[in-house]
Chain A
Amino acid sequence: GAVVSQHPSRVICKSGTSVKIECRSLDFQATTMFWYRQFPKQSLMLMATSNEGSKATYEQGVEKDKFLINHASLTLSTLTVTSAHPEDSSFYICSALDRSGRGYNEQFFGPGTRLTVL
């Protein structure tokens, strides 16, 4: 399957700082990427849909001014958690949509980024 990477894999930051997480599709172009969040012992929750060259679409209850998404190229989407607080501590996972000939709209997931806000 297609490969998606995330960087960093783990980050610890102080409350009030901003953290940027990168999601890259390594061997395919992804015009659409998704960002999910997973709290301990819970399932993944979709946060937003990121489309290359346009504004992201956020799910209900997700603050767009707090979670800034930029999808400036066909292989890179970034999620910036602004003014992070301890309640933002979570596992952030991206997925990239592969629309190439090998599939319809299969999603491939990154390995996730563990964010801890002190």
Chain B
Amino acid sequence: DAKTTQPTSMDCAEGRAANLPCNHSTISGNEYVYWYRQIHSQGPQYIIHGLKNNETNEMASLIITEDRKSSTLILPHATLRDTAVYYCIVRVRVRGGADGLTFGKGTHLIIQP
């Protein structure tokens, strides 16, 4: 799996959009970008994933640059409950495949009231 680089921590005001960057310059053509988050003392929660097109779901939007070397996770209206460590993971997505995830250090997002 390709290596990812994320800022160690970020602050965001409640109600504003939180934009979390991830650099994955060595990503290969068949690797997807996944985002998970971990609220303190809980298991990780899947947020979103994408290959090359921008994706949106009820939780967030994922913007992937055209060269796929970086991406941004956007939480449109951050709330205090969004305070968590956010992990960007790059991996191959194969039907039937079964590999454990490699977690980096992630970004500790702190939502300020």
Contact = CB atoms under 8 A, between A and B. Distances in A.
B100 interface: yes
Contacts of A49: 98-100
B94 A104 contact: yes
Contacts of A1: 46
Contact of A91 (B41, B95, B106): B41
Contacts of A32: 98
B44 A43 contact: no
Interface in A24-81: 32, 34, 36, 43-46, 49, 51, 59
A110 B43 contact: yes
Contacts, number: 62
Nearest to A10: B41
Contact of A34 (B46, B93, B100): B100
B105 A43 contact: yes
Contact of B104 (A43, A93, A99, A109): A43
A67 B35 CA distance: 29
A105 B96 contact: yes
Interface residues of B, number: 22
A53 to B, nearest CB: 14
Interface string B71-107: 0000000000000000100000111111111111110
A28 B100 CA distance: 18
A93 B94 contact: no
A112 B41 contact: yes
23 contacts: A4-B43, A6-B43, A36-B100, A43-B87, A43-B105, A43-B106, A44-B38, A44-B44, A44-B101, A49-B98, A91-B41, A93-B43, A95-B43, A95-B44, A99-B95, A99-B96, A104-B95, A105-B95, A105-B97, A109-B44, A111-B42, A112-B41, A112-B42
